[in-house]
Amino acid sequence: NAGVTQTPKFRVLKTGQSMTLLCAQDMNHEYMYWYRQDPGMGLRLIHYSVGEGTTAKGEVPDGYNVSRLKKQNFLLGLESAAPSQTSVYFCASRQTSGRASTQYFGPGTRLTVL
Amino acid sequence: AQSVAQPEDQVNVAEGNPLTVKCTYSVSGNPYLFWYVQYPNRGLQFLLKYITGDNLVKGSYGFEAEFNKSQTSFHLKKPSALVSDSALYFCAVRDEDNAGNMLTFGGGTRLMVKP
């Protein structure tokens, strides 16, 4: 049981380039999330999904797109990267067994946009 | 709306001494409260959560947290700190009435335990 995995672990982009971050979970969780972590700002929610084929905007969705074509995967896309998107990105998942259920996090992807 | 505040950017404590990392929250309904820990270059690891019932919640690695409804606080505690407890700690809240079931995180508190 690998839990939540993320690829790649590190990436450097030039301004204007595009890329996709992959999140996978093997816990059969319905809910999946993408966060970004910036110094002193905690984690901020970018987008989330409550099930296969569904996505919704979080707190800071601009400049990002997501897709949830398969239940176990949640993709985060940057169409035209900007230096402001330099951050550490975390994926998380949780069951839908009540609002008290715990979120489990992946190890993160460190992205630098030059 | 829901929000979390961690008033201290950093907490310094000597090994063997008790530690407290503070967290206050604001929700419109009943809160579900969580503590996570992040070690360098790692993801967030779940420590403990408060749902209902006893105000003192025990979690992983000897940590516990006390829920105080009147003070809207959920402080993380440990009776005797270890150097290996040095990490970044996040408090998070989910409002029972939050339709999106989203967690809101505090800004994090860095705990430094010195030998």
| C-alpha span between B101 and B107 (Å, rounded) | 19
B28 touches chain A (CB under 8 A): no
B108, with CB counted inside 10 A (0-12, 13-18, 19+), is buried
Is A42 close to B43, i.e. CB distance below 8 A? no
CA–CA distance from B5 to each of A28, A67, B2, B37, B104 (Å)?
Answer: 32, 32, 11, 16, 10
Q: Residue A88: what pLDDT?
A: 95
Q: What is the pLDDT of residue B40?
A: 87
Q: What confidence score (pLDDT) does residue B29 get?
A: 85
- Which residues of A are less than 8 Å from B41 in CB distance? 108
Name the closest residue on chain A to residue B8, using Cα atoms. Answer: A40
Instruction: Write out chain A residues lying below 8 Å of B98, CB-based.
Output: 99
pLDDT of residue B42: 85
Token couple for A39: 């110094």
Among A33, A90, A102, select the one facing B43 at the smallest CB separation: A90
**What mean pLDDT is predicted for residues B46-69?**
93
Tell me, what's the pLDDT at A16? 97
Low-confidence ranges of chain A (pLDDT < 50): none
Asked if the Cβ–Cβ distance from A103 to B46 is below 8 Å, we say yes
CA-nearest of B77, B95, B76, B87 to B25 is: B95
pLDDT the model gives residue B98 = 65
Contact residues on chain B for A40, CB-CB shorter than 8 A: 9, 107-108
Q: Which residue has the tokens 């150097």?
A: B83
List CB contacts (< 8 A) between A36 and chain B.
none
pLDDT (0 to 100) of residue A84: 95
Check B101 against A99: CB less than 8 A apart.
yes
pLDDT digits (tens, 9 = 90+) for A11-22: 999 999 999 999
**Do residue A42 and residue B44 have CB atoms under 8 angstroms apart?**
no
